[in-house]
Amino acid sequence: MNLRAYWRFLVVARHFLPLLVAYARDRKRFFVIGSSRRVTPEQRRKRAQQLLDSLLTLGPTFIKLGQILSTRPDVLPPEYIEEFSKLQDRVPPADWDEARVVIEDELGSVDDRFDEFQTDAISGASLGQVYLAEIDGEKVAVKIRRPGIEALVEADLRVVRWSLPLLMYFIDDSRSFSLETLADEFSKTIREEMDYQREGRMLTEIRENFRDNDRICIPKVKESHSTRRVLTMEYVPGTKINDIDSLDAGGINRTELAETLQRAYLQMIIDDGVFHADPHPGNLAVQDDGTLVFYDFGMSGRVDPFVQDKIIDFYAAVAEQDIDAILDALIEMGTLSPEADRQVMGDVMELAIADARGEDIEQYRVQQIIQQVEDTIYEFPLRLPANLALVLRVATVVEGVCVTLDEDFDFIGVATDYLREEGYLAEGVRNFIEDRATEVSDATRSAVRIPPKLENVLDRVEREDFRVQADIEDSDGLLATMTKRLILGMLLASTLFSTAFLYTQASLPATAVGIVGTVGLSLALWWSFRSKQAVRAKPQFTRQSMRERDRESPGGLNTSFGEDGDDAYSGD
Protein backbone atom coordinates (compact mmCIF):
# COMPACT_ATOMS: atom_id res chain seq x y z
CA MET A 1 0.00 0.00 0.00
CA ASN A 2 1.41 3.37 -1.01
CA LEU A 3 0.10 5.78 1.63
CA ARG A 4 1.90 8.69 -0.01
CA ALA A 5 0.03 8.14 -3.28
CA TYR A 6 -3.32 7.96 -1.46
CA TRP A 7 -2.58 11.16 0.42
CA ARG A 8 -1.50 12.90 -2.79
CA PHE A 9 -4.75 11.78 -4.41
CA LEU A 10 -6.73 13.53 -1.67
CA VAL A 11 -4.61 16.68 -1.98
CA VAL A 12 -5.01 16.77 -5.78
CA ALA A 13 -8.76 16.10 -5.51
CA ARG A 14 -9.14 19.01 -3.09
CA HIS A 15 -7.57 21.36 -5.66
CA PHE A 16 -9.37 20.05 -8.75
CA LEU A 17 -12.83 19.15 -7.44
CA PRO A 18 -14.34 22.69 -7.55
CA LEU A 19 -13.33 23.05 -11.21
CA LEU A 20 -14.71 19.61 -12.09
CA VAL A 21 -18.03 20.45 -10.43
CA ALA A 22 -18.20 23.72 -12.37
CA TYR A 23 -17.43 21.88 -15.61
CA ALA A 24 -20.13 19.29 -14.88
CA ARG A 25 -22.64 22.09 -14.36
CA ASP A 26 -21.58 23.63 -17.66
CA ARG A 27 -22.70 20.44 -19.40
CA LYS A 28 -25.89 19.94 -17.34
CA ARG A 29 -27.13 22.90 -15.38
CA PHE A 30 -28.45 20.70 -12.56
CA PHE A 31 -25.83 17.91 -12.95
CA VAL A 32 -28.33 15.32 -14.22
CA ILE A 33 -30.93 17.34 -16.10
CA GLY A 34 -31.13 20.75 -17.70
CA SER A 35 -29.55 22.32 -20.74
CA SER A 36 -25.88 23.22 -20.98
CA ARG A 37 -24.60 26.59 -19.79
CA ARG A 38 -22.90 29.20 -21.95
CA VAL A 39 -19.39 29.84 -20.55
CA THR A 40 -17.87 33.18 -21.49
CA PRO A 41 -14.17 33.64 -22.34
CA GLU A 42 -13.79 35.70 -19.13
CA GLN A 43 -15.09 32.79 -17.03
CA ARG A 44 -12.76 30.38 -18.79
CA ARG A 45 -9.76 32.62 -18.19
CA LYS A 46 -10.61 32.95 -14.50
CA ARG A 47 -10.85 29.18 -14.15
CA ALA A 48 -7.60 28.73 -16.09
CA GLN A 49 -5.83 31.07 -13.66
CA GLN A 50 -7.22 29.12 -10.70
CA LEU A 51 -6.05 25.85 -12.23
CA LEU A 52 -2.63 27.37 -12.94
CA ASP A 53 -2.27 28.31 -9.27
CA SER A 54 -3.19 24.76 -8.30
CA LEU A 55 -0.59 23.28 -10.64
CA LEU A 56 2.11 25.53 -9.16
CA THR A 57 1.04 24.57 -5.63
CA LEU A 58 1.05 20.83 -6.39
CA GLY A 59 4.68 20.97 -7.50
CA PRO A 60 7.05 19.54 -10.13
CA THR A 61 4.93 16.80 -11.69
CA PHE A 62 1.92 19.03 -12.20
CA ILE A 63 4.05 21.91 -13.50
CA LYS A 64 5.27 19.51 -16.20
CA LEU A 65 1.68 18.39 -16.81
CA GLY A 66 0.65 22.01 -17.31
CA GLN A 67 3.47 22.55 -19.79
CA ILE A 68 2.35 19.54 -21.84
CA LEU A 69 -1.29 20.69 -21.66
CA SER A 70 -0.18 24.05 -23.07
CA THR A 71 0.64 22.20 -26.31
CA ARG A 72 -2.76 20.54 -26.64
CA PRO A 73 -5.46 22.83 -28.07
CA ASP A 74 -7.44 19.66 -28.84
CA VAL A 75 -7.87 19.09 -25.08
CA LEU A 76 -8.23 22.57 -23.57
CA PRO A 77 -9.90 25.83 -24.64
CA PRO A 78 -7.64 28.67 -25.86
CA GLU A 79 -7.82 30.60 -22.57
CA TYR A 80 -6.26 27.64 -20.73
CA ILE A 81 -3.58 27.20 -23.41
CA GLU A 82 -2.57 30.85 -23.14
CA GLU A 83 -2.41 30.79 -19.33
CA PHE A 84 -0.50 27.49 -19.16
CA SER A 85 2.04 28.73 -21.72
CA LYS A 86 3.24 31.11 -18.98
CA LEU A 87 4.34 28.23 -16.74
CA GLN A 88 7.96 28.71 -15.78
CA ASP A 89 9.65 25.52 -14.61
CA ARG A 90 11.91 27.34 -12.19
CA VAL A 91 11.99 26.60 -8.48
CA PRO A 92 14.65 27.25 -5.83
CA PRO A 93 17.37 24.56 -5.90
CA ALA A 94 17.55 21.96 -3.13
CA ASP A 95 20.14 22.32 -0.36
CA TRP A 96 23.69 21.48 -1.39
CA ASP A 97 23.97 18.79 1.28
CA GLU A 98 21.07 16.89 -0.30
CA ALA A 99 22.42 17.36 -3.83
CA ARG A 100 25.88 16.23 -2.72
CA VAL A 101 24.41 12.88 -1.66
CA VAL A 102 23.07 12.34 -5.19
CA ILE A 103 26.46 13.12 -6.80
CA GLU A 104 28.42 10.91 -4.43
CA ASP A 105 25.96 8.01 -4.82
CA GLU A 106 26.47 8.21 -8.60
CA LEU A 107 30.11 9.30 -9.04
CA GLY A 108 31.88 9.01 -5.73
CA SER A 109 33.53 11.76 -3.71
CA VAL A 110 33.04 15.25 -5.13
CA ASP A 111 36.56 16.27 -4.08
CA ASP A 112 38.06 13.27 -5.87
CA ARG A 113 36.10 13.57 -9.13
CA PHE A 114 36.22 17.34 -9.59
CA ASP A 115 39.06 19.84 -9.33
CA GLU A 116 36.61 22.53 -8.25
CA PHE A 117 32.88 22.51 -7.55
CA GLN A 118 30.76 25.58 -6.88
CA THR A 119 28.10 24.62 -4.35
CA ASP A 120 25.69 27.37 -5.38
CA ALA A 121 23.46 26.19 -8.23
CA ILE A 122 23.50 28.40 -11.32
CA SER A 123 19.93 27.32 -12.20
CA GLY A 124 17.18 25.31 -10.60
CA ALA A 125 14.17 23.54 -12.12
CA SER A 126 11.52 21.15 -10.85
CA LEU A 127 13.33 17.96 -11.87
CA GLY A 128 16.98 19.01 -11.69
CA GLN A 129 19.50 21.73 -10.91
CA VAL A 130 22.77 22.79 -12.52
CA TYR A 131 26.15 23.53 -10.90
CA LEU A 132 29.40 24.90 -12.27
CA ALA A 133 32.54 22.78 -11.78
CA GLU A 134 35.98 22.12 -13.25
CA ILE A 135 37.62 18.92 -14.51
CA ASP A 136 41.27 18.87 -15.64
CA GLY A 137 41.22 22.63 -16.10
CA GLU A 138 38.03 22.58 -18.19
CA LYS A 139 34.84 24.25 -16.97
CA VAL A 140 31.82 21.96 -16.98
CA ALA A 141 28.11 22.24 -16.15
CA VAL A 142 26.86 19.47 -13.86
CA LYS A 143 23.13 18.72 -14.00
CA ILE A 144 21.87 16.78 -10.98
CA ARG A 145 18.47 15.19 -10.55
CA ARG A 146 16.60 16.84 -7.68
CA PRO A 147 16.88 14.75 -4.47
CA GLY A 148 13.78 12.65 -3.74
CA ILE A 149 12.05 13.61 -6.98
CA GLU A 150 11.61 10.00 -8.16
CA ALA A 151 9.25 9.01 -5.32
CA LEU A 152 7.18 12.18 -5.71
CA VAL A 153 6.82 11.74 -9.48
CA GLU A 154 5.82 8.08 -9.19
CA ALA A 155 3.21 8.94 -6.55
CA ASP A 156 1.83 11.72 -8.75
CA LEU A 157 1.71 9.45 -11.80
CA ARG A 158 -0.39 7.00 -9.79
CA VAL A 159 -2.71 9.87 -8.91
CA VAL A 160 -3.02 10.78 -12.59
CA ARG A 161 -3.89 7.16 -13.49
CA TRP A 162 -6.46 6.92 -10.67
CA SER A 163 -7.99 10.26 -11.66
CA LEU A 164 -8.40 9.42 -15.34
CA PRO A 165 -11.65 7.38 -15.02
CA LEU A 166 -13.15 10.20 -12.94
CA LEU A 167 -12.15 12.81 -15.51
CA MET A 168 -13.71 10.72 -18.29
CA TYR A 169 -17.09 11.23 -16.63
CA PHE A 170 -16.77 15.00 -16.87
CA ILE A 171 -15.61 15.28 -20.49
CA ASP A 172 -17.42 14.52 -23.74
CA ASP A 173 -16.61 11.57 -25.96
CA SER A 174 -14.83 13.70 -28.55
CA ARG A 175 -12.01 14.45 -26.06
CA SER A 176 -11.76 11.15 -24.20
CA PHE A 177 -9.29 9.70 -26.71
CA SER A 178 -7.10 12.81 -26.58
CA LEU A 179 -7.08 12.73 -22.78
CA GLU A 180 -6.09 9.06 -22.62
CA THR A 181 -3.25 9.52 -25.10
CA LEU A 182 -2.16 12.65 -23.22
CA ALA A 183 -1.91 10.68 -19.94
CA ASP A 184 0.25 8.03 -21.62
CA GLU A 185 2.38 10.69 -23.28
CA PHE A 186 2.87 12.54 -19.98
CA SER A 187 4.04 9.45 -18.09
CA LYS A 188 6.50 8.63 -20.87
CA THR A 189 7.77 12.21 -21.21
CA ILE A 190 8.43 12.91 -17.54
CA ARG A 191 10.25 9.58 -17.05
CA GLU A 192 12.39 10.27 -20.11
CA GLU A 193 13.21 13.73 -18.82
CA MET A 194 14.46 12.28 -15.52
CA ASP A 195 16.75 9.85 -17.36
CA TYR A 196 19.95 11.83 -17.91
CA GLN A 197 21.58 8.99 -19.85
CA ARG A 198 18.83 9.33 -22.47
CA GLU A 199 19.31 13.10 -22.50
CA GLY A 200 23.03 12.59 -23.07
CA ARG A 201 22.38 10.27 -26.02
CA MET A 202 19.91 12.67 -27.63
CA LEU A 203 22.27 15.61 -27.10
CA THR A 204 25.16 13.69 -28.65
CA GLU A 205 23.09 12.61 -31.67
CA ILE A 206 21.83 16.12 -32.38
CA ARG A 207 25.32 17.54 -31.85
CA GLU A 208 26.67 15.11 -34.43
CA ASN A 209 23.99 16.19 -36.92
CA PHE A 210 25.28 19.77 -36.69
CA ARG A 211 29.00 18.96 -36.64
CA ASP A 212 29.57 20.77 -39.97
CA ASN A 213 27.52 23.85 -39.05
CA ASP A 214 29.73 26.53 -37.49
CA ARG A 215 26.64 28.65 -36.69
CA ILE A 216 25.38 26.09 -34.14
CA CYS A 217 27.05 25.10 -30.85
CA ILE A 218 25.86 22.19 -28.68
CA PRO A 219 27.80 21.27 -25.50
CA LYS A 220 29.72 18.00 -25.46
CA VAL A 221 28.82 15.34 -22.89
CA LYS A 222 31.50 14.27 -20.39
CA GLU A 223 30.77 10.53 -20.41
CA SER A 224 33.10 9.71 -17.52
CA HIS A 225 31.07 11.91 -15.18
CA SER A 226 27.53 11.14 -16.37
CA THR A 227 24.95 8.61 -15.13
CA ARG A 228 21.14 8.30 -15.00
CA ARG A 229 20.98 10.98 -12.28
CA VAL A 230 24.00 13.15 -13.16
CA LEU A 231 24.84 14.71 -16.52
CA THR A 232 28.14 16.55 -16.99
CA MET A 233 28.70 18.71 -20.09
CA GLU A 234 31.22 21.27 -21.26
CA TYR A 235 30.31 24.75 -20.05
CA VAL A 236 29.40 27.04 -22.96
CA PRO A 237 28.56 30.60 -21.85
CA GLY A 238 26.46 32.97 -23.93
CA THR A 239 23.98 35.83 -23.94
CA LYS A 240 20.33 34.91 -23.48
CA ILE A 241 18.67 35.01 -26.90
CA ASN A 242 15.93 37.44 -25.85
CA ASP A 243 18.37 39.92 -24.27
CA ILE A 244 17.94 42.28 -27.22
CA ASP A 245 19.94 45.15 -25.72
CA SER A 246 23.00 42.96 -25.16
CA LEU A 247 22.74 41.45 -28.64
CA ASP A 248 22.55 44.90 -30.22
CA ALA A 249 25.49 46.09 -28.13
CA GLY A 250 27.51 43.14 -29.40
CA GLY A 251 26.67 43.91 -33.02
CA ILE A 252 24.69 40.69 -33.56
CA ASN A 253 22.53 40.60 -36.69
CA ARG A 254 19.22 39.55 -35.15
CA THR A 255 17.53 38.74 -38.47
CA GLU A 256 20.32 36.32 -39.41
CA LEU A 257 20.15 34.83 -35.92
CA ALA A 258 16.39 34.23 -36.27
CA GLU A 259 16.94 32.57 -39.64
CA THR A 260 19.67 30.37 -38.17
CA LEU A 261 17.31 29.29 -35.39
CA GLN A 262 14.45 28.42 -37.74
CA ARG A 263 16.70 26.60 -40.20
CA ALA A 264 18.17 24.58 -37.34
CA TYR A 265 14.73 23.36 -36.32
CA LEU A 266 13.68 22.68 -39.91
CA GLN A 267 16.76 20.48 -40.26
CA MET A 268 16.08 18.68 -36.98
CA ILE A 269 12.43 17.97 -37.73
CA ILE A 270 12.42 17.46 -41.51
CA ASP A 271 15.88 16.03 -42.22
CA ASP A 272 17.24 14.45 -39.05
CA GLY A 273 14.07 13.21 -37.35
CA VAL A 274 15.39 14.05 -33.87
CA PHE A 275 14.96 17.47 -32.29
CA HIS A 276 15.44 19.65 -29.22
CA ALA A 277 11.88 20.20 -27.98
CA ASP A 278 12.24 23.01 -25.43
CA PRO A 279 13.38 26.12 -27.34
CA HIS A 280 12.36 28.79 -24.83
CA PRO A 281 14.82 31.69 -24.30
CA GLY A 282 16.34 30.12 -21.19
CA ASN A 283 17.63 27.25 -23.30
CA LEU A 284 18.98 29.36 -26.17
CA ALA A 285 22.04 31.60 -25.99
CA VAL A 286 24.26 33.54 -28.38
CA GLN A 287 28.05 33.72 -28.32
CA ASP A 288 30.00 36.88 -29.14
CA ASP A 289 30.48 35.83 -32.78
CA GLY A 290 26.74 35.16 -33.28
CA THR A 291 26.94 31.39 -32.80
CA LEU A 292 23.63 29.93 -31.53
CA VAL A 293 23.95 27.75 -28.41
CA PHE A 294 21.42 25.08 -27.33
CA TYR A 295 21.04 23.99 -23.70
CA ASP A 296 18.95 21.35 -21.91
CA PHE A 297 17.96 18.38 -24.06
CA GLY A 298 15.80 16.74 -21.39
CA MET A 299 12.72 17.43 -23.48
CA SER A 300 13.53 16.11 -26.95
CA GLY A 301 11.71 13.94 -29.45
CA ARG A 302 11.76 11.99 -32.67
CA VAL A 303 9.71 12.30 -35.85
CA ASP A 304 8.97 9.18 -37.88
CA PRO A 305 9.51 9.28 -41.67
CA PHE A 306 5.78 9.34 -42.50
CA VAL A 307 5.19 12.44 -40.37
CA GLN A 308 8.32 14.04 -41.85
CA ASP A 309 6.89 13.56 -45.36
CA LYS A 310 3.54 15.03 -44.33
CA ILE A 311 5.22 18.03 -42.69
CA ILE A 312 7.07 18.64 -45.96
CA ASP A 313 3.76 18.41 -47.83
CA PHE A 314 2.24 20.85 -45.36
CA TYR A 315 5.06 23.40 -45.69
CA ALA A 316 5.03 23.05 -49.49
CA ALA A 317 1.27 23.66 -49.55
CA VAL A 318 1.67 26.70 -47.30
CA ALA A 319 4.43 28.03 -49.55
CA GLU A 320 2.12 27.70 -52.56
CA GLN A 321 -0.89 28.93 -50.51
CA ASP A 322 -2.79 25.84 -51.69
CA ILE A 323 -5.57 25.62 -49.08
CA ASP A 324 -6.89 22.24 -50.27
CA ALA A 325 -3.40 20.73 -50.11
CA ILE A 326 -2.95 22.12 -46.58
CA LEU A 327 -6.19 20.49 -45.43
CA ASP A 328 -5.23 17.21 -47.14
CA ALA A 329 -1.87 17.17 -45.34
CA LEU A 330 -3.54 17.83 -41.98
CA ILE A 331 -6.03 15.01 -42.57
CA GLU A 332 -3.28 12.56 -43.59
CA MET A 333 -1.27 13.45 -40.47
CA GLY A 334 -4.33 12.66 -38.36
CA THR A 335 -4.58 16.23 -37.10
CA LEU A 336 -7.81 17.21 -38.87
CA SER A 337 -10.94 15.06 -38.95
CA PRO A 338 -12.03 14.06 -42.48
CA GLU A 339 -15.55 15.14 -41.43
CA ALA A 340 -14.49 18.77 -41.00
CA ASP A 341 -16.27 21.48 -42.95
CA ARG A 342 -13.55 22.20 -45.52
CA GLN A 343 -14.96 25.62 -46.38
CA VAL A 344 -14.77 26.77 -42.75
CA MET A 345 -11.32 25.29 -42.19
CA GLY A 346 -10.15 26.74 -45.50
CA ASP A 347 -11.17 30.23 -44.36
CA VAL A 348 -9.24 29.72 -41.13
CA MET A 349 -6.11 28.52 -42.95
CA GLU A 350 -6.30 31.38 -45.44
CA LEU A 351 -6.48 33.87 -42.61
CA ALA A 352 -3.60 32.22 -40.74
CA ILE A 353 -1.34 32.33 -43.81
CA ALA A 354 -2.16 35.96 -44.50
CA ASP A 355 -1.51 36.85 -40.86
CA ALA A 356 1.82 34.99 -40.86
CA ARG A 357 2.91 36.90 -43.97
CA GLY A 358 1.66 40.21 -42.58
CA GLU A 359 -0.71 40.77 -45.47
CA ASP A 360 -3.66 43.15 -45.16
CA ILE A 361 -7.06 41.53 -44.83
CA GLU A 362 -10.37 43.26 -45.30
CA GLN A 363 -11.88 44.13 -41.94
CA TYR A 364 -15.21 42.42 -42.55
CA ARG A 365 -13.36 39.13 -43.08
CA VAL A 366 -11.48 39.60 -39.83
CA GLN A 367 -14.75 40.14 -37.99
CA GLN A 368 -16.34 37.15 -39.64
CA ILE A 369 -13.51 34.69 -39.15
CA ILE A 370 -11.33 35.72 -36.20
CA GLN A 371 -14.20 35.75 -33.75
CA GLN A 372 -15.20 32.26 -34.84
CA VAL A 373 -11.60 31.07 -34.56
CA GLU A 374 -11.22 32.39 -31.03
CA ASP A 375 -14.63 31.26 -29.84
CA THR A 376 -14.70 27.83 -31.47
CA ILE A 377 -11.12 26.59 -31.97
CA TYR A 378 -11.66 24.29 -28.97
CA GLU A 379 -14.61 22.77 -30.87
CA PHE A 380 -12.84 22.43 -34.22
CA PRO A 381 -12.50 18.81 -35.39
CA LEU A 382 -8.76 19.03 -34.65
CA ARG A 383 -6.73 16.29 -33.00
CA LEU A 384 -3.10 16.14 -31.96
CA PRO A 385 -1.42 12.72 -32.19
CA ALA A 386 1.28 12.31 -29.55
CA ASN A 387 4.10 12.42 -32.12
CA LEU A 388 2.91 15.83 -33.34
CA ALA A 389 2.28 17.59 -30.01
CA LEU A 390 5.97 18.39 -29.41
CA VAL A 391 6.42 19.42 -33.06
CA LEU A 392 3.55 21.88 -32.70
CA ARG A 393 4.99 23.26 -29.47
CA VAL A 394 8.42 23.70 -31.06
CA ALA A 395 6.98 25.46 -34.12
CA THR A 396 4.98 27.97 -32.08
CA VAL A 397 7.72 28.74 -29.56
CA VAL A 398 10.44 29.05 -32.23
CA GLU A 399 8.26 31.44 -34.20
CA GLY A 400 7.75 33.52 -31.04
CA VAL A 401 11.52 33.72 -30.44
CA CYS A 402 12.14 34.66 -34.08
CA VAL A 403 9.56 37.45 -33.93
CA THR A 404 11.16 38.70 -30.71
CA LEU A 405 14.47 38.96 -32.59
CA ASP A 406 12.90 40.51 -35.70
CA GLU A 407 9.28 41.66 -35.61
CA ASP A 408 9.12 41.52 -39.43
CA PHE A 409 10.57 38.02 -39.67
CA ASP A 410 9.01 36.03 -42.55
CA PHE A 411 8.63 32.56 -41.05
CA ILE A 412 6.95 31.10 -44.13
CA GLY A 413 9.45 32.68 -46.51
CA VAL A 414 12.43 31.15 -44.70
CA ALA A 415 10.74 27.74 -44.61
CA THR A 416 9.99 27.97 -48.35
CA ASP A 417 13.62 28.88 -49.16
CA TYR A 418 14.87 25.99 -47.03
CA LEU A 419 12.59 23.46 -48.74
CA ARG A 420 13.63 24.74 -52.17
CA GLU A 421 17.35 24.64 -51.34
CA GLU A 422 17.07 21.10 -49.98
CA GLY A 423 15.18 19.97 -53.06
CA TYR A 424 11.91 19.20 -51.34
CA LEU A 425 9.76 21.48 -53.48
CA ALA A 426 11.19 20.06 -56.72
CA GLU A 427 10.79 16.56 -55.31
CA GLY A 428 7.17 17.39 -54.53
CA VAL A 429 6.54 18.31 -58.18
CA ARG A 430 8.26 15.12 -59.32
CA ASN A 431 6.17 13.02 -56.92
CA PHE A 432 3.02 14.76 -58.16
CA ILE A 433 3.85 13.84 -61.76
CA GLU A 434 4.61 10.26 -60.75
CA ASP A 435 1.31 10.03 -58.85
CA ARG A 436 -0.63 11.32 -61.85
CA ALA A 437 1.16 8.82 -64.11
CA THR A 438 0.19 6.02 -61.72
CA GLU A 439 -3.41 7.19 -61.76
CA VAL A 440 -3.46 7.17 -65.59
CA SER A 441 -2.01 3.66 -65.61
CA ASP A 442 -4.62 2.45 -63.09
CA ALA A 443 -7.39 4.09 -65.11
CA THR A 444 -6.18 2.32 -68.27
CA ARG A 445 -6.20 -1.07 -66.55
CA SER A 446 -9.68 -0.35 -65.16
CA ALA A 447 -10.93 0.59 -68.62
CA VAL A 448 -9.87 -2.88 -69.82
CA ARG A 449 -11.36 -4.74 -66.82
CA ILE A 450 -14.70 -2.91 -66.44
CA PRO A 451 -16.56 -3.78 -69.73
CA PRO A 452 -16.64 -7.58 -69.14
CA LYS A 453 -17.79 -7.05 -65.55
CA LEU A 454 -20.45 -4.56 -66.65
CA GLU A 455 -21.72 -7.01 -69.28
CA ASN A 456 -22.01 -9.73 -66.60
CA VAL A 457 -24.03 -7.40 -64.36
CA LEU A 458 -26.40 -6.47 -67.18
CA ASP A 459 -26.95 -10.17 -68.01
CA ARG A 460 -27.96 -10.81 -64.39
CA VAL A 461 -30.38 -7.89 -64.49
CA GLU A 462 -31.94 -9.25 -67.66
CA ARG A 463 -32.37 -12.68 -66.02
CA GLU A 464 -33.94 -10.96 -62.94
CA ASP A 465 -31.16 -12.47 -60.85
CA PHE A 466 -29.80 -9.17 -59.54
CA ARG A 467 -30.12 -8.22 -55.88
CA VAL A 468 -28.92 -5.14 -54.00
CA GLN A 469 -27.93 -5.35 -50.34
CA ALA A 470 -27.53 -2.05 -48.43
CA ASP A 471 -26.07 -1.45 -44.97
CA ILE A 472 -27.38 1.70 -43.36
CA GLU A 473 -24.89 3.45 -41.06
CA ASP A 474 -26.59 5.22 -38.18
CA SER A 475 -23.70 6.42 -36.01
CA ASP A 476 -25.86 9.10 -34.39
CA GLY A 477 -28.66 6.67 -33.38
CA LEU A 478 -31.31 8.45 -35.45
CA LEU A 479 -33.14 5.22 -36.39
CA ALA A 480 -33.08 4.07 -32.77
CA THR A 481 -34.57 7.39 -31.70
CA MET A 482 -37.35 7.19 -34.29
CA THR A 483 -38.10 3.59 -33.30
CA LYS A 484 -38.28 4.57 -29.63
CA ARG A 485 -40.72 7.37 -30.44
CA LEU A 486 -42.87 5.03 -32.52
CA ILE A 487 -43.04 2.46 -29.74
CA LEU A 488 -43.82 5.11 -27.13
CA GLY A 489 -46.57 6.51 -29.36
CA MET A 490 -48.16 3.08 -29.81
CA LEU A 491 -48.00 2.38 -26.08
CA LEU A 492 -49.49 5.79 -25.32
CA ALA A 493 -52.37 5.20 -27.72
CA SER A 494 -53.16 1.79 -26.21
CA THR A 495 -52.84 3.17 -22.68
CA LEU A 496 -55.25 6.01 -23.45
CA PHE A 497 -57.81 3.49 -24.72
CA SER A 498 -57.29 1.24 -21.68
CA THR A 499 -57.64 4.17 -19.28
CA ALA A 500 -60.88 5.29 -20.91
CA PHE A 501 -62.20 1.73 -20.68
CA LEU A 502 -61.23 1.44 -17.00
CA TYR A 503 -62.90 4.77 -16.27
CA THR A 504 -66.22 3.50 -17.58
CA GLN A 505 -66.00 -0.11 -16.42
CA ALA A 506 -63.61 -0.44 -13.45
CA SER A 507 -62.95 1.03 -10.02
CA LEU A 508 -61.27 4.38 -9.32
CA PRO A 509 -57.92 2.86 -8.11
CA ALA A 510 -57.58 0.89 -11.35
CA THR A 511 -58.37 4.01 -13.36
CA ALA A 512 -55.73 5.97 -11.36
CA VAL A 513 -53.10 3.39 -12.31
CA GLY A 514 -54.00 3.85 -15.97
CA ILE A 515 -53.82 7.64 -15.66
CA VAL A 516 -50.35 7.41 -14.05
CA GLY A 517 -49.12 5.19 -16.87
CA THR A 518 -50.58 7.53 -19.49
CA VAL A 519 -48.88 10.57 -17.91
CA GLY A 520 -45.56 8.74 -17.65
CA LEU A 521 -45.63 7.67 -21.30
CA SER A 522 -46.65 11.19 -22.36
CA LEU A 523 -43.70 12.70 -20.50
CA ALA A 524 -41.30 10.13 -21.98
CA LEU A 525 -42.52 10.86 -25.49
CA TRP A 526 -42.29 14.63 -24.92
CA TRP A 527 -38.74 14.32 -23.55
CA SER A 528 -37.60 12.29 -26.58
CA PHE A 529 -38.63 15.15 -28.85
CA ARG A 530 -37.10 17.76 -26.56
CA SER A 531 -33.61 16.14 -26.33
CA LYS A 532 -31.02 17.90 -28.51
CA GLN A 533 -28.97 14.75 -28.93
CA ALA A 534 -31.82 12.93 -30.63
CA VAL A 535 -31.32 14.55 -34.01
CA ARG A 536 -27.63 15.41 -33.98
CA ALA A 537 -25.88 14.49 -37.21
CA LYS A 538 -22.32 14.75 -38.42
CA PRO A 539 -20.38 16.85 -39.13
CA GLN A 540 -20.78 18.60 -35.78
CA PHE A 541 -18.84 21.71 -36.80
CA THR A 542 -20.40 23.50 -39.77
CA ARG A 543 -21.19 26.99 -40.95
CA GLN A 544 -24.68 26.63 -39.53
CA SER A 545 -23.33 25.88 -36.05
CA MET A 546 -21.01 28.87 -36.34
CA ARG A 547 -23.96 31.15 -37.15
CA GLU A 548 -25.88 29.72 -34.20
CA ARG A 549 -22.96 30.50 -31.89
CA ASP A 550 -22.92 34.04 -33.28
CA ARG A 551 -26.57 34.52 -32.35
CA GLU A 552 -25.95 33.13 -28.85
CA SER A 553 -22.73 35.11 -28.30
CA PRO A 554 -23.10 37.95 -25.77
CA GLY A 555 -21.07 40.18 -28.09
CA GLY A 556 -17.64 41.69 -28.17
CA LEU A 557 -14.80 41.09 -30.59
CA ASN A 558 -11.39 40.07 -29.32
CA THR A 559 -8.79 39.96 -32.07
CA SER A 560 -5.83 39.11 -29.86
CA PHE A 561 -4.15 35.81 -30.74
CA GLY A 562 -1.75 35.85 -27.78
CA GLU A 563 0.74 37.97 -25.93
CA ASP A 564 4.32 38.71 -26.80
CA GLY A 565 7.04 38.65 -24.22
CA ASP A 566 9.11 36.27 -22.15
CA ASP A 567 6.22 35.11 -20.01
CA ALA A 568 4.70 33.38 -23.04
CA TYR A 569 7.33 30.65 -22.99
CA SER A 570 7.52 27.53 -20.92
CA GLY A 571 10.40 26.88 -18.62
CA ASP A 572 12.99 24.15 -18.94
Q: Residue by residue, what is the 3-state secondary structure of 269-333? A: HHHHCEEECCCCHHHEEECCCCCEEECCCCCEEECCHHHHHHHHHHHHHHHCCCHHHHHHHHHHH
Dihedral, CA of residue 64, residue 70, residue 76 and residue 78, to nearest 10: 150
Tell me, yes or no, if the pTM score tops 0.75.
no
Enumerate helices (H) and strands (E) in the chain, giving the number of each.
21, 11
Task: Check residue 364 and give its pLDDT.
Answer: 43
Instruction: Using 50 as the pLDDT threshold, list the residues of the chain that sit under it.
Output: 1, 363-378, 428-430, 432-433, 436, 532-572
Supply φ then ψ for residue 89, to 5 degrees: -85, 65
Give whole-number Cα distances, 261 to 210, 255, 266, in Å: 12, 10, 9
What does the alpha-carbon distance between residue 13 and residue 171 come to, in Å, rounded to a whole number? Answer: 16
Listed in sequence order, the residues at least 6 apart from 109 whose beta carbon sits closer than 8 Å to its beta carbon are none
Contact assessment for residue 104 and residue 110, using Cβ atoms and an 8 Å cutoff: yes
pLDDT tens digits, 480-520: 777 777 787 777 777 777 777 667 666 677 677 778 777 88
Task: Check residue 458 and give its pLDDT.
Answer: 60
Supply φ then ψ for residue 132, to 5 degrees: -100, 130
Task: Check residue 20 and give its pLDDT.
Answer: 74
Supply angle C-alpha 473, 475, 476, rounded to 5.
Answer: 125
Eight-class DSSP state of 391: H
Task: Check residue 369 and give its pLDDT.
Answer: 44
Dihedral, CA of residue 47, residue 49, residue 50 and residue 55, to nearest 10: 120
Q: Provide the b/e sequence for 338-362 (b: ≥16 CB within 10 Å).
A: eebbbebbebbbbbebeeeeeeeee
Task: Check residue 434 and give its pLDDT.
Answer: 52
Task: Check residue 546 and give its pLDDT.
Answer: 44
Task: Check residue 282 and give its pLDDT.
Answer: 81
Q: Using omega within 30 degrees of 0 as the cis cutoff, is the peptide bond preceding 539 cis?
A: yes
Contact assessment for residue 428 and residue 322, using Cβ atoms and an 8 Å cutoff: no
